[in-house]
Amino acid sequence: MCDMATTRGELGDKLSSLSLFADLSAAELESIAHIVDERRFGDGERILRQGLTGSGFYIILEGEAIIRIDGKEYGKLGRGDFFGEISVLLGDPPVADIVAAQGLHCAIIPGPELEPFMIGHPQVLFRMLKSEARKLRMATSWRT
């Protein structure tokens, strides 16, 4: 198995391939690569915890994340998906557990840094908003 550590340049390349960062220049991507943290999770490790405060914003670079509420699985997230933003923006604890699978590797923005990050990168904010709109549409379509 190879060493899967990434340099900042490699992280910038990984971010550039995600739709969330599709509108950014190379210089902006490099700058973001220096701002975000990175972390690999053991399979089965919890990342967000239902009911526990103080979490962050996570963008999946590799692997999968399982959404679990009260122990029941509700879906999976994959490369390019992100999670944790609702809890950070509203200041409420997460309503679901997010659990690592398939060698999950994430870029992370700590909760207190998310708001300045979004204000400083409106193109990313716009992409996030579109994604949230799609989620909302899906949620409302289930009701009808």
Which of 67, 93, 123, 131 touches other proteins (CB under 8 A)?
Answer: 93
Rounded Cα–Cα distance for residues 101 and 105 (Å): 10
Q: Which CA distances in Å does 79 have to 89, 92, 95, 116? A: 22, 25, 22, 24
Q: Work out how close the CB of 32 gets to other proteins at its nearest, in angstroms, rounded to a whole number.
A: 9
Interface with other proteins includes 79 (CB under 8 A)? no
* Cβ-based nearer residue to other proteins, 2 or 138: 2
Count CB-CB contacts under 10 A for residue 121.
20
Interaction site with other proteins (CB under 8 A): 1-9, 11, 27, 30-31, 33-35, 37-42, 45-46, 49, 51-56, 93, 103, 105, 110-113
